[in-house]
Structure 1
Amino acid sequence: MDLGIVAPIAYGILALVGGIIGYLQAKSKISLISGITSGLLLIIAGILQLQGQAWGLTLAAVVAALLIVVFVIRLAKTRKFMPAGLMIIGGVLALGAMFYPLVAL
């Protein structure tokens, strides 16, 4: 299992756990729903890549890119690093890890 497969799974777990924590701390149902949805999509995308399905990379990249955009907007509005900054950094690292094997060829 290479880093390009581990990255979306790890980022998915981060999104999933973050959504649950957001709900527990702030009773934010939107955090719970978006965290579970995006987290599961990223985990599924990683599993699809593991099974050799090329579109798993596309799914993971689209979800990660959307999360980055959402959290950049959130960071600009709130000026609070947590959780937006962490999710931005995680998303950029995940995208880099997903595409590094393609660029390194």
Structure 2
Amino acid sequence: MDFPAIVTAIFGAFVVFGGVMGYVKAKSKASLIAGGITGGLLLLSAFLMARGITAGAILGIVVSLLLIGQFGPSLAKKFKVMPNLLVVILGLITLGTLVFSFFR
């Protein structure tokens, strides 16, 4: 498996875990659903990239941008390490890795 797929899979697993933790700690069904969907899409993206399908990288870029767009403004308003800062940092790392590999 290549590096971009591994980075995307790690980010996807973190997002799924974050959604579950949001549900456990705050009983937030929205966190569970959103984390499950976006994390699942990132894991699907990693799977597709591992199979050599270019659509996987595009899907990973789109989902990473959506997560950065969701958590970035929250981070700017109120600095919270979990989940805002961690999602933004991992999203930027994933996005950079995917864009670099996509145009390579």
| TM-score of the two chains, using structure 2 as the length reference | 0.92
State, as a whole percentage, how many aligned pairs show the same letter: 38
Determine the C-alpha separation between the residues in 2 that align with 1:77 and 1:19.
21
- Structure 1 residues without counterparts, runs of 5 or longer: none
Deviation at 1:51, TM superposition (A): 1.1
**Cα drift, residue 8 of structure 1:** 1.2
Residue in structure 2 matched with residue 43 of structure 1 by the alignment: 43
- 4+ residue segments displaced more than 6 Å: none
In the other structure, the counterpart of 2:29 is 29
Relative contact order, CA 8 A, sep 6+: which one is greater?
Answer: 1
Q: What SS class does the counterpart of residue 53 from structure 2 fall into?
A: coil
Partner of 2:84: 84
Q: Deviations over 1:35-79 (max 9, x none)?
A: 000000000011011111111110010001100010012223333
Q: What is the rounded CA distance, in whole Å, between the counterparts of 1:97 and 1:52 in structure 2?
A: 16
State whether residues 45 and 60 of structure 1, in contact with CA within 8 Å, keep that contact through their aligned partners in structure 2: yes
What is the distance in 2 between the residues matched to 1:55 and 1:77? 34
**SS of the residue aligned with 1:52?**
coil
Taking the aligned partners of 1:35 and 1:77, their CA distance within structure 2 comes to 21
Q: What corresponds to 2:54 in structure 1?
A: 54
> Is contact 1:7-1:94 (8 Å) kept?
yes
Q: Distance in 1 between matches of 2:84 and 2:75?
A: 5
CA contact (8 A) 2:79 2:85 kept: no
Q: Which amino acid aligns with 1:14?
A: F
State the partner residue of 2:4.
4
Alignment of 1:63-74 (within 5 A): 63-74=63-74
Using the TM superposition, give the Cα deviation of residue 102 of structure 1 relative to its aligned residue in structure 2, in angstroms: 4.2
**Bigger shift: residues 20-29 or 72-81:** 72-81
